[in-house]
Structure 1
């Protein structure tokens, strides 16, 4: 009888010792990212059947479970995917919006006003060199501003492309780590145990992957997980298929390289575009393929309209050298570009003759009238003409407007987009916070609860120790009676 008591007490001591170790592990990792609270599951040992009935044989730890809810994980990752997309999209659109910085005294709207004003001033003194010098300066500044905007857009594109490449590399690295974790977890759990710490590490990597790539997770019976990106399998068992970023070559190839060559994400050896994509990956691809080309296209349309309209009117004017009459037919004011290198915001500049000789700036529309101001007035009046700028989007829709109206529409569109996606990012971040709170309530460590649990287990441990003392006294009594 005493030996049975010893065995029961021994099992109780070992069981509660394991429970205390589990609680200590929880307390030690209360602030460890991705750690899930663990719990020792205690079961009564198999009883011994005797003629008068069953007699208990003690207690044991059947397993140590990880407190984790797969549905809460899916909810958190879905919210994290939306947050990753909206937050990064907001940041990138804010960078594009900051390029123009409107309203501003140094922005394009003001530069256009000053340019038209300089022609108006020239019409007031059509034979003056000082007014022509101002026209030349304002024209040069206008072209330089278009050039600077295009350069900044190109810089944002280059930085976003670099970030996209780095993100794809990170996704591939995470995929390899997850495939390796699959192997380790399947191996560790082959004997019926649960690899809690490895599963925590895998879930932490899955959380990160969901934010950057918008992946979906499917648990497998052997303990591994399959990960889907878009409608394709990124990870299955011990196999991870790498992603790659491809620049799409236009067909036919243009005479000059395109600044905004679109990109596509490919999976493995597949040549088709990976779709759909989500998370930060989606934000970067959309900005590179849609937002930046759209903004640059509108900017180019403005530059082309300014160059063509001013040049057309300017070529209809006449320039005069001293008192020589009749005058000479004027040339272009801006460089008109070539067939293979057409005018764009990046290349907008004054015609070389205008740069070198102020007298080449035409104000007169009368070959015999050096004091005529018809051309200067007509160019100045371009500011108020409607439908001077036109841009056709890839979907076929056309945007038109005056110079000031079209640019105002460009800036307003960017502002509305940025504000909208900023609101979406705020909502998404709130959803992430809520989803994380719900998940932490199920799997997070509450140190106060753990300490209360520790006191209960400690009391049970001390009670088991007292059983040993009682069994020892009973054994001594039996021996003394012998």
Structure 2
């Protein structure tokens, strides 16, 4: 009986629709889950049968409700957040260190010249005052060394972090390729592979925070993933491999299908590109700027001391030793340097302070500092710190903007692909009513069948 067959198909379809709704509700809080929908299609009558209304309903497919444009928006915004979120902790740390009066270079330089002013204003031969100069010089040198140590610690941390990101990205790239293969097999066998596609999209989202990506869908259901610069990371089931080499200076490359491509640590984008940009554009120039200060202050003071005379009337010698590239002792006081070695006299007379006045005047001499150009010694650290503050503020503002874009992209994705509790509750009631109505039809059909049998008996 067609009435029984129609009702049975309706009952089975509503059961599958209810199962789909229950799956959606069960995964309402599952991160990255994309809701599904049963696609119901009316089954037409047999060919040539004009008096049949049809043969019920069939579940033609289970649809995965997804918008590729919104996926792309979400992945692009993840890259922007990753790029700027990784660098902000480093910027904040340097701001605190360089802006702290107890550790700043400006305070150290000021105290060094203040100690010499004190000698000039009282007695150039005073041993206690001369000792204050040596103490202030040692303190200033230590501040340069401490700040240089902070720079070196950040460089080490950056390199370790980049290596960890590369390792994590390689695992994710391999996972995407594996999921591509599983999805192809599932599609060929007619198996619902929505959960596999969800897992792949989450893997792409995670990778997008580490690198700038281009993602494209292929006819076989796979997704190809490449860098914004064009190098392929995943094609079908084939995965690339990121490589990092070098100690002090890291280099990056990508191996794919037997070929190797060199990568720029900044152009790759995401977390990896953000760390590369911070090292190249902020940290290394800042470290070199501080080294420029230390070298030129030491050179100017040493040169002027060599033009004067010590307490015993002999020619002066250098006070500072500058060691370029040193990880811990970039600037030091010459070993064994004594208060009597301070060549403050310009004519060999012990009480003369002519050369001391010239040393004091060095504070207002210009020096050439990387990223700043020609600046006064007295202003160099202030300008370096100010430039750092501007860079940090710009990064924070850009990060906040990218986080807003990311949140909006996620909300847009959820509006399409996320599970809506109210909508699913309505579906639950509607499909339940559909099931009960079809069961009622089957009951009526059964009663008609029984009545027909009774008439014929």
TM-score band w.r.t. shorter chain:
over 0.9
* 1:4 and 2:6 correspond: no
* Pick aligned residue for 1:151 from 138, 141, 149: 149
Q: Distance in 2 between matches of 1:365 and 1:55?
A: 117
1:146-191 CA deviation, whole Å, 9 max, x = no partner? Answer: 0000001111111111111000111100000000000000000013
TM-superposed deviation, 1:99: 2.8
Give the equivalent residue in structure 2 for 1:358.
339
* Pick aligned residue for 1:270 from 214, 239, 260: 260
Q: Distance in 2 between matches of 1:160 and 1:474?
A: 80
Q: Distance in 1 between matches of 2:325 and 2:61?
A: 73
Q: Name the CA shift for 1:192/1:328 in 2 (closer, same or farther; >3 Å).
A: same
Give the equivalent residue in structure 2 for 1:242.
241
Secondary structure at the residue paired with 2:373? Answer: strand
Secondary structure at the residue paired with 2:331? Answer: coil
Secondary structure at the residue paired with 2:318? Answer: coil
TM-superposed deviation, 1:289: 2.7
Q: 5+ unaligned residues in a row in structure 2: which ranges?
A: none
Q: Distance in 2 between matches of 1:77 and 1:114?
A: 52
Q: Distance in 2 between matches of 1:417 and 1:443?
A: 38
* 1:390 and 2:368 correspond: yes
Length-normalised TM-score, structure 2: 0.94
Superposed, which structure 2 residues align to 1:269-288 within 5 Å?
Answer: 269-270=259-260, 272-274=262-264, 276-288=267-279
TM-superposed deviation, 1:346: 4.2
Q: Name the CA shift for 1:336/1:207 in 2 (closer, same or farther; >3 Å).
A: closer
Contact 1:353–1:360 (Cα < 8 Å) also in 2: no
Secondary structure at the residue paired with 1:48? Answer: coil
* 1:292 and 2:291 correspond: no
Q: Distance in 2 between matches of 1:91 and 1:342?
A: 25
1:344-369 CA deviation, whole Å, 9 max, x = no partner? Answer: 98420001131xx32112221112x1
Q: Name the CA shift for 1:343/1:234 in 2 (closer, same or farther; >3 Å).
A: closer
Secondary structure at the residue paired with 2:336? Answer: helix
TM-superposed deviation, 1:407: 1.4
Secondary structure at the residue paired with 1:318? Answer: coil
Give the equivalent residue in structure 2 for 1:470.
444
TM-superposed deviation, 1:129: 0.6
What stretches of structure 1 move > 6 A for 4+ residues in a row? 342-345
More moved, 187-196 vs 236-245: 187-196
Contact 1:181–1:198 (Cα < 8 Å) also in 2: yes
* Pick aligned residue for 1:94 from 92, 99, 106: 92
Contact 1:243–1:267 (Cα < 8 Å) also in 2: yes
Secondary structure at the residue paired with 2:332? Answer: coil
Contact 1:38–1:65 (Cα < 8 Å) also in 2: yes
Contact 1:304–1:344 (Cα < 8 Å) also in 2: no
Q: 5+ unaligned residues in a row in structure 1: which ranges?
A: 249-260, 322-326
Give the equivalent residue in structure 2 for 1:173.
171
Q: Distance in 2 between matches of 1:412 and 1:348?
A: 23
TM-superposed deviation, 1:110: 1.1
Q: Name the CA shift for 1:442/1:187 in 2 (closer, same or farther; >3 Å).
A: same
More moved, 301-310 vs 3-12: 3-12
Give the equivalent residue in structure 2 for 1:349.
332
Q: Distance in 2 between matches of 1:471 and 1:37?
A: 36
Secondary structure at the residue paired with 2:345? Answer: coil
Give the equivalent residue in structure 2 for 1:79.
77
Secondary structure at the residue paired with 2:297? Answer: helix
TM-superposed deviation, 1:405: 1.4
* 1:311 and 2:298 correspond: no
Q: Distance in 2 between matches of 1:156 and 1:143?
A: 20
- The count of corresponding residues between Structure 1 and Structure 2 is 450
Give the equivalent residue in structure 1 for 2:21.
23
Q: Distance in 1 between matches of 2:107 and 2:327?
A: 20
Q: Distance in 1 between matches of 2:180 and 2:261?
A: 28
RMSD between aligned residues: 1.8
Q: Distance in 1 between matches of 2:326 and 2:195?
A: 61
Length-normalised TM-score, structure 1: 0.89
